[in-house]
Structure 1
Amino acid sequence: MKKYRILFLVIISAIGSSCSDEFTQIVPSNNLSSEEVFRDASRAREFLNPAYSGVRNTPWIELEYYTNNAVEVYGARREAASGLTAEASPVSVEWSTAINNIFRINEYFKYGFDIKYDAYNDVLAEGLKKRLRGEAFGLRAYYKWLLLKNFAGPSATDGTMLGIPIIDELLTTDNVNNISRSTYLESYNSIKKDLDSAYAHIDVLRYQGDGDVDGVLFTSRVSREMIWALRARMALFAASPAYGQISWEEAAQTAYDAIIEIDGGGLKSLQAYGNFDETDNIDHLWRRSFSNNGNLENNHYPPSMFGKGVGNPSQNLVDAFPDSNGYPINHPSSTYNGVNPYDNRDARFERFIFYNGQNDYRNAFIEIFAGGKDIHGGINKQATRTGYYLKKYLSADINLDSDQSSEPNKDFKVYAVFSRAGLYLDFAEAAIEAYGVNGKDASMAFSAREAIEVIRNRPESGLASDLYLDEADDFLNTYRDLVRNERRIEFAFEGEYYYDVRRWMLPLDELNASVMGVNVTKQADDSFIYEAKEVESRNFSDRMYYNPIPRGEILSSNALIQNAGWE
């Protein structure tokens, strides 16, 4: 075997506590040759673990600052306000993350399966080897997807829709620098091939029980749920206006098949949001790990709750939440009242956003008015710029007040890379585009409308009634807008809206709409006046529908072609 010098990584206990041995922190140890690593069963099993570290395990809140969903308390992100550059794309890091992990996985394919994984139990040894091979295929598919999701675009030379450099072997740096980008469809089919291989090796739909190969301890690893969910998401993107590589019918069928396999034949009611701390939430189709701390609360609680209030949701996003009957707030039948704008709203608004007044959350009264605790000049000189604070993903069980030390100051944080709600939304969007307002093929057991109804009527966090759904179902454009709005709400503060507006190719005037906020004035009778204000401008141009490949990668390569407009 040819010697490769590699940095062997070992596993130590997680920082903080966790629910299982599976959730661990990867740290470097010592340099070992490939022969030394891959002749030891325990080291070989652990070699693949660092490839999981590039899988996002927290919501990508920062990407919202490049849309009109939110701003950062510290000021405008330069790329959002003045325009992206090839050197300063907010997703540039995804290139090196994906490529480096693909290298590691390919090394595992080359050397990681020539040993016996358990010297004393042949059945266990073969079970482990089969699952690990499936994980390697699944992880490589995921990182290829990261590249495709972030960097696909039209060629700067001839406009061909390009995808990614397909690297399925262990190569030297020189060899890699000579690999060109394949077309989008070739890249898409390469990912499908890896997912098919993963599916053939992984027999587990969802890890549960206490088995040595398929037990709950392995929840964070690639499963068939993850494989189905990734198939559906990438099919949705491939069918979208920005790419147009497959039909909407194919995308709808892919998502439908995923739901049938995962849910056992039909749609399921969703779990309540709660504190986002349920480590065994059945709606989570894939998550890498979870933490047990108060970091999100420390960053995003309002000042009166001893937080930094970093993420400030916009009035644009607030206006996207319908009234309690499901009507858009500008609809003639809506119960929305601008005098009391936060009354009778979709319950997700209450769970996702801190607003002025009484909040059903630790019995908090948020003061976002002149002289209030949560405004500039209150407890903290640096306070919300929009009149709102982020609440989604925060736990009400965390108390940052040092004078109340008897209460906990940490809680589990669970973020799903793929969720059941996300899968239902993938199906609904593709189905209405494929089949119109009826939202399903004749052979399908449920429609897009039924999938959206499940999402909008989530227990404890849904609508009081959904009078609007039937009305929206009469018109394709109305229903398309409804589904897109549901994605905006459901994926709020996860970063998905950044990608959605691009693949939908929303008009430039929408993407350049200013980020709005609200000024709140308290009256002598304790009532409030709410007035809109502009917070930040946006500078979105045609070339920004597709992200640039990092310029350094283009310069170091002999073969990579940049996306149009970024050369």
Structure 2
Amino acid sequence: MIKNKNIFVILILSILFVGCTDVIDPADENIRDQNSTYNEPNFGLGLLTQGYTRIPTNGYNFSEVATDDAVSNDVSNGFLRLATGQWTASNNAADRWTSCFSGIQYMNIVLTEADKMTFAEDPIIDKLFKERIKGEAYGLRALFMFNLLQSHAGWVNGKLMGVPIYSEVLNKDSNFNVPRQDFNTCVAQIYKDVDSAAVRLPLNYRDIVNESDIPARYLAINATVGAYNRTMGLRYLGLVSGIIVKAIRSQTSLMAASPAFADGTANGSNETWANAAKHAAEVIAFKGGLTGLPTDFNSGVAWYRNTSQINGLTAGSNPPEVLWRAGTSNNNDLEREHFPPSLFGNGRVNPTQNFVDAFYANNGYPITHPSSNYNQNSPYANRDPRLAEFVNYHGRTAGVTNAQINMATGTQDPVNKVLTSTRTGYYMRKLLRQDVNYNPSGRNTQLHYRPRIRYTEMYLNYAEAANEAWGAVSDPEGYGYTAYDIIKVIRKRAMNLNTDPYLESIKNDKDAMRELIRNERRLELSFEGFRFWDLRRWKVPFSKLTEDAKGITVSGTLNAPVYSTPATVENRAYQNHMYYGPIPYLETLKFTNLLQNDLWNN
């Protein structure tokens, strides 16, 4: 399971006797009687915190450098090594096994121990606290299982397998040598946990004023408005809520309905595209339907640099684009790592020409279409505004000084000029605040936050699933919008299109719409950790999975550039079985019942 039985013994003893201190090396003087901790609210909340700290999307891993979207200039980058032939079951940058199973163990302890704890002297308030905490634990357990399936589910001897399911607290006497459950059983467990969470949690944390707003479940135990607000009110924004667990279900069902898992055989996933659309629609209904999606560029596309919204964030509150986020941080770590060297950054993530070519002309046509009027000698003119928003290219202004990026004759920024220069002719701009100054002589910091789930993801989930289930212009379930409607809004927001002739020309072509929806997802969710997994769940042709990462070089001068023909920068060295990640090699050595995914060895 995690590493060996002893880690679980340490984990459990540390929690039961030390609260939420370090689970590796507890201090002897802090050891208390287990029963004494049950009267301390912080004990239970500390256990829950151990789950929140293990959420995989608390930070960015930039797995895009293992896709057709980007490369890295850091030769030690785990995803670079993964993409170039070093991905093994014992060397896996995409591994989530230990952290997610550790999170599940913590949540199992919460669910086992919560009813024994005391959170308030008032029995009704105490009961409400316990219900909310258990709801959070069920929701986090579902989230960890989703991430485990995404990273480690795969085919074993003709059957789609998930991971072991542990719903009880493990101790030194537990049997660790248990087999993996099949994929459908794991998905069913996620849905069960989502339901268990949703029935206990408010859809969203808010203060209520009327008794009629109290859920029937809590009215039955004589909860008052004051008691409800104290335990499930506005102050708890940011914790797992009912709408968050519904979003986790949407993520799970979209993955499960995708071609890599629902392959049409009896041994594959039994999830459907219609169910995936339904689960996304539940989240969209909470947001207000089609009109709920933020329609202005700065809120919906450039959310990461929307200064007024970021500065206005209070504890747990969200901007209009964000369903759930991690906390804010007042630092310039992203800029230090990803600014071009001329702005004193390390230029780590380099978008590819492949990615740049995925952006449309500003009239909405792909640049390969005759109506796009694309000019390869002036490749960034008249393009989809998201290109300039997400990518620093030659001549683009950047940073607090609004200096032009010079890929032709610059002293640091051109391809491979110094160790921190781009390898592709491009630097990542998305996620970075241009009002950060990383110049050693005048550095400043700015607020950042990491969305865990954005609403645009949910709308794109629906568009993809609905198009696959019914086509782009059909709404047989009466949701009030179609896949076409959603994509039209997203493209209008991005490109300010009064008319969208390309979309209109393909809206009745399911295959063409599939490619458009996937491309919109590629652009809208770029550098947020989706592309690596999307390519795999779509089971794209192997030639696409292994597509060379391309770049360009610029010669001439700053104002009279000459662009080279795109050339290969990095080869992708995947094999056919690498649509699915491996089980950690050491785990399969320790536990004979833990079968490895097909063709993975070590």
Q: What TM-score comes out, normalization by structure 1 length? A: 0.89
Whether 1:386 and 2:389 are equivalent positions in the alignment is no
Name the structure 1 match of 2:169.
170
Residue 213 of structure 1, CA deviation: 2.8
1-structure distance, mates of 2:536, 2:559: 46
In the alignment, is the contact (CA less than 8 A) between 1:45 and 1:117 conserved in 2? no
1:233 corresponds to which of 236, 248, 251:
251
1-structure distance, mates of 2:346, 2:53: 27
* Alpha-carbon spacing, 1:372–1:449, altered in 2? closer, same or farther (3 Å): farther
Q: Which structure features the higher share of helix residues?
A: 2
Whether 1:539 and 2:573 are equivalent positions in the alignment is yes
Name the structure 1 match of 2:508.
474
Q: Secondary structure at the match of 2:115?
A: coil
* Alpha-carbon spacing, 1:132–1:539, altered in 2? closer, same or farther (3 Å): same
2-structure distance, mates of 1:31, 1:11: 11
In the alignment, is the contact (CA less than 8 A) between 1:358 and 1:365 conserved in 2? yes
1:252 corresponds to which of 269, 277, 295:
277
Name the structure 2 match of 1:17.
none
In the alignment, is the contact (CA less than 8 A) between 2:399 and 2:435 conserved in 1? no
Q: Which AA in structure 2 matches 1:160?
A: K
Structure 2: any 5+ residue segments left out of the alignment? 1-8, 209-225, 263-268
Q: What TM-score comes out, normalization by structure 2 length? A: 0.84
* Alpha-carbon spacing, 1:82–1:58, altered in 2? closer, same or farther (3 Å): same
Name the structure 2 match of 1:440.
475
2-structure distance, mates of 1:373, 1:231: 46
Q: Secondary structure at the match of 2:169?
A: coil
In the alignment, is the contact (CA less than 8 A) between 1:309 and 1:389 conserved in 2? yes
Name the structure 2 match of 1:453.
488
In the alignment, is the contact (CA less than 8 A) between 1:6 and 1:32 conserved in 2? no
Name the structure 2 match of 1:40.
40
Which shows bigger deviation, 67-76 or 179-188?
Answer: 67-76
Residue 436 of structure 1, CA deviation: 1.7
* Alpha-carbon spacing, 1:300–1:222, altered in 2? closer, same or farther (3 Å): same
* Alpha-carbon spacing, 1:295–1:160, altered in 2? closer, same or farther (3 Å): same
Deviations 1:386-417 (A, max 9, x none): 01111111112211123335xxx222222212
**1:85-164 correspondence runs (5 A):** 85-92=88-95, 94-119=96-121, 121-155=122-156, 158-164=157-163
2-structure distance, mates of 1:414, 1:258: 22
* Alpha-carbon spacing, 1:398–1:32, altered in 2? closer, same or farther (3 Å): farther
In the alignment, is the contact (CA less than 8 A) between 2:343 and 2:399 conserved in 1? no
* Alpha-carbon spacing, 1:208–1:65, altered in 2? closer, same or farther (3 Å): farther
Q: Secondary structure at the match of 2:448?
A: strand
Q: Which AA in structure 2 matches 1:297?
A: E
Which shows bigger deviation, 98-107 or 354-363?
Answer: 354-363
Residue 266 of structure 1, CA deviation: 4.0
Name the structure 1 match of 2:321.
283
Name the structure 1 match of 2:408.
369
Residue 96 of structure 1, CA deviation: 0.3
1-structure distance, mates of 2:65, 2:280: 29
Q: Secondary structure at the match of 1:402?
A: coil
Which shows bigger deviation, 239-248 or 72-81?
Answer: 72-81
Name the structure 2 match of 1:22.
none
Q: Secondary structure at the match of 2:329?
A: strand
* Alpha-carbon spacing, 1:391–1:176, altered in 2? closer, same or farther (3 Å): farther
Whether 1:293 and 2:292 are equivalent positions in the alignment is no
Deviations 1:267-320 (A, max 9, x none): 423224244462431221122323221100110011111111111111111111
1-structure distance, mates of 2:55, 2:468: 30
* Alpha-carbon spacing, 1:491–1:275, altered in 2? closer, same or farther (3 Å): closer
Q: Secondary structure at the match of 1:202?
A: coil
Residue 208 of structure 1, CA deviation: 6.9
Deviations 1:313-338 (A, max 9, x none): 11111111111121111011113211
* Alpha-carbon spacing, 1:45–1:82, altered in 2? closer, same or farther (3 Å): closer
Name the structure 2 match of 1:429.
464
Which shows bigger deviation, 410-419 or 387-396?
Answer: 410-419
Residue 49 of structure 1, CA deviation: 0.9
In the alignment, is the contact (CA less than 8 A) between 2:552 and 2:563 conserved in 1? no
In the alignment, is the contact (CA less than 8 A) between 2:205 and 2:235 conserved in 1? no
2-structure distance, mates of 1:434, 1:301: 42
Whether 1:203 and 2:211 are equivalent positions in the alignment is no
Whether 1:84 and 2:87 are equivalent positions in the alignment is yes
Q: Which AA in structure 1 matches 2:88?
A: T
Which shows bigger deviation, 200-209 or 388-397?
Answer: 200-209
* Alpha-carbon spacing, 1:174–1:95, altered in 2? closer, same or farther (3 Å): farther
In the alignment, is the contact (CA less than 8 A) between 2:414 and 2:553 conserved in 1? no
In the alignment, is the contact (CA less than 8 A) between 1:34 and 1:111 conserved in 2? no
Which shows bigger deviation, 68-77 or 392-401?
Answer: 68-77
Name the structure 1 match of 2:214.
none
* Alpha-carbon spacing, 1:324–1:208, altered in 2? closer, same or farther (3 Å): farther
2-structure distance, mates of 1:399, 1:371: 19
* Alpha-carbon spacing, 1:203–1:549, altered in 2? closer, same or farther (3 Å): same
Residue 455 of structure 1, CA deviation: 2.0
In the alignment, is the contact (CA less than 8 A) between 1:59 and 1:493 conserved in 2? no
2-structure distance, mates of 1:359, 1:453: 30
Name the structure 2 match of 1:347.
385
* Alpha-carbon spacing, 1:425–1:206, altered in 2? closer, same or farther (3 Å): farther
* Alpha-carbon spacing, 1:377–1:146, altered in 2? closer, same or farther (3 Å): closer
Q: Secondary structure at the match of 2:198?
A: helix
2-structure distance, mates of 1:72, 1:134: 40
In the alignment, is the contact (CA less than 8 A) between 2:415 and 2:421 conserved in 1? yes
Residue 175 of structure 1, CA deviation: 2.9
2-structure distance, mates of 1:65, 1:490: 17
2-structure distance, mates of 1:508, 1:143: 29
Residue 116 of structure 1, CA deviation: 2.5
Structure 1: any 5+ residue segments left out of the alignment? 13-26
Residue 58 of structure 1, CA deviation: 4.7
Q: Which AA in structure 2 matches 1:51?
A: G
2-structure distance, mates of 1:136, 1:350: 41
2-structure distance, mates of 1:28, 1:307: 39
Q: Secondary structure at the match of 2:164?
A: coil
Q: Secondary structure at the match of 1:290?
A: strand
Name the structure 2 match of 1:411.
446
* Alpha-carbon spacing, 1:353–1:265, altered in 2? closer, same or farther (3 Å): closer
Query: Please, what is the CA RMSD of the aligned residues?
Result: 2.6
2-structure distance, mates of 1:283, 1:232: 17
In the alignment, is the contact (CA less than 8 A) between 2:135 and 2:198 conserved in 1? yes
Identity of aligned residues (%): 32
2-structure distance, mates of 1:100, 1:173: 15
In the alignment, is the contact (CA less than 8 A) between 2:391 and 2:429 conserved in 1? yes
Residue 82 of structure 1, CA deviation: 1.7
1:420 corresponds to which of 441, 447, 455:
455
Q: Which AA in structure 2 matches 1:241?
A: P
In the alignment, is the contact (CA less than 8 A) between 1:5 and 1:34 conserved in 2? no
2-structure distance, mates of 1:284, 1:90: 27
Deviations 1:205-247 (A, max 9, x none): 2557995333444332101221111111111111111111212
Residue 133 of structure 1, CA deviation: 1.0
Which shows bigger deviation, 358-367 or 248-257?
Answer: 358-367
* Alpha-carbon spacing, 1:133–1:340, altered in 2? closer, same or farther (3 Å): same
2-structure distance, mates of 1:343, 1:483: 24
1-structure distance, mates of 2:558, 2:45: 68
* Alpha-carbon spacing, 1:177–1:276, altered in 2? closer, same or farther (3 Å): farther
Q: Which AA in structure 2 matches 1:243?
A: F
Q: How many residues align?
A: 542
